[in-house]
Amino acid sequence: MNKIWIISRKDISDAFRSRSTYVFLLVMLVLTFIYISIYTGTVNSDPYKNNPALIADYSHKYINTLAYLFPLMFSNFICSIFANYAVIVDKAKRNIESLMATPVSIKQIWMGKSLAVTVPSVGMGIGISVISYLCWTSGS
SS (H, E, C) the chain: CHHHHHHHHHHHHHHHCCHHHHHHHHHHHHHHHHHHHHHHHHHCCHHHCCCHHHHHHHHHHHHHHHHHHHHHHHHHHHHHHHHHHHHHHHHHCCHHHHHHCCCCCHHHHHHHHHHHHHHHHHHHHHHHHHHHHHHHHHHC
- pLDDT reported for residue 139: 57
Q: Model confidence over 73-86: pLDDT tens digits?
A: 788 878 877 787 77
> Would the pLDDT of 98 be above 80?
no
What's the pTM value of the predicted model, to 2 decimals?
A: 0.64
- When pLDDT is averaged across residues 33-48 and rounded to a whole number, the result is 79
> Would the pLDDT of 96 be above 80?
no
- When pLDDT is averaged across residues 107-131 and rounded to a whole number, the result is 84
The mean pLDDT of the chain is: 80
